[in-house]
Amino acid sequence: MKWKTGLAVAAAMAAILPGMAAAQTASFRDPAGDDKGPGTYTYPTDMAYKPGSFDLTGLDVSLIGEKVEFAATMRSTLEDPWRMGVGFSVQMLMVFVRTGTGRHVDAPPGLNVKFAAPGWDKVIILSPQTPARVRAEVAAKAGLLASDIIVPERTKGAGNRISAAVPRAALGGGSPRDWSYQVVVLGNEGFPSGRDLLTRRVNEYNGQHRFGGGTDSDCDPNVMDILAGLAVGGSSEVAAQRAALSYECEVDGSTLKMATLPMLRP
């Protein structure tokens, strides 16, 4: 009868394990074709910026042992035209996570966005730059936010997925299903302007390595795509994104109304 008992245990575990896995994963989806920021943004003209390169279509956050993996899916297959050595070049993503009270509403410099309260507690930077370069930029430019910015030891791109894993302890413990999230998709910039944190700016007109459709002042969000609405990939989320990334500038180019992003629960 032992073999029957073993089969019963195996069958019970087979039924339980999928539920356990789902309980440890937070998943979001985003509609294709909304990689236009507030609705007006255009890609740079250089052929390195392939259509769909900045079009986020999903985020999966999974607890694997004592590591939390962040995996973002893009609409286009990733390429490495600048030979960064990690499978992608032109994109940079920041994944904001509220694991507690949401202590920050300001964003790292260069995004030109803020967050609706309660905001975020930690942000994970998925960059093709070396971890040493990103950490040096964070230390030099992020000010009081620096201690809550996490730079993974390794970020990689494969197929159409950009991913990295960080220790759960660095996020304060807990489960991905209990946290709130936001993802911003930006252009990776090796020679950032002023105090921008490796972010590629959006100008009024696009150029070889500049996004267009924004302003030449510094009041527009340098963000191509985010999660919005219910984050299930519905068409209404396009309008929700445009509303969140909407902005207004003063006559002198300073900020009148800053783009304000929500944090979303799975």
Q: What is the per-residue DSSP string for 240-260? A: HHHHHT--EE-TTS-EEE-EE
pLDDT tens digits, one per residue of 102-160 = 999 999 999 999 999 999 999 999 999 999 999 999 999 999 999 999 999 999 999 99
pLDDT tens digits, one per residue of 158-172 = 999 999 999 999 999
pLDDT tens digits, one per residue of 18-41 = 444 455 999 999 999 999 999 999
Q: How far apart are the first and last CA of the chain?
A: 44
pLDDT at 23: 56
Cα–Cα dist 131/164, whole Å: 12
Instruction: Name 26's bridge partners.
Output: 61
Closest CA to 241 of 26, 31, 60, 27: 31
Distances (CA, A) of 144 to 62, 81, 106, 161: 28, 34, 10, 31
pLDDT tens digits, one per residue of 173-201 = 899 999 999 999 999 999 999 999 999 99
pLDDT tens digits, one per residue of 201-253 = 999 999 999 999 999 999 999 999 999 999 999 999 999 999 999 999 999 99
Cα–Cα dist 137/196, whole Å: 9
- Alpha carbons within 13 angstroms on the beta-carbon side of residue 89 total 12
pLDDT at 180: 98
pLDDT at 206: 98
User: Tokens 């499978």 correspond to what residue?
Assistant: 87
Q: What element of type H or E holds 20?
A: helix 2-23
pLDDT at 188: 98
Instruction: Name 67's bridge partners.
Output: 64, 167
Q: Is the pLDDT of residue 17 over 80?
A: no
pLDDT tens digits, one per residue of 49-93 = 999 999 999 999 999 999 999 999 999 999 999 999 999 999 999
Domains and CATH numbers, the chain: 28-261 (2.60.40.1190)
Cα–Cα dist 56/75, whole Å: 6
Q: What tokens were used for 231?
A: 């984050």
Cα–Cα dist 222/200, whole Å: 7
pLDDT at 91: 98
pLDDT at 20: 46
User: Tokens 């105090």 correspond to what residue?
Assistant: 195
Instruction: Enumerate residues 6+ apart whose C-beta is below 8 A from 204.
Output: 212, 213, 214, 215, 216
Phi, psi of 237 (to 5 degrees): -70, -20
pLDDT at 12: 46
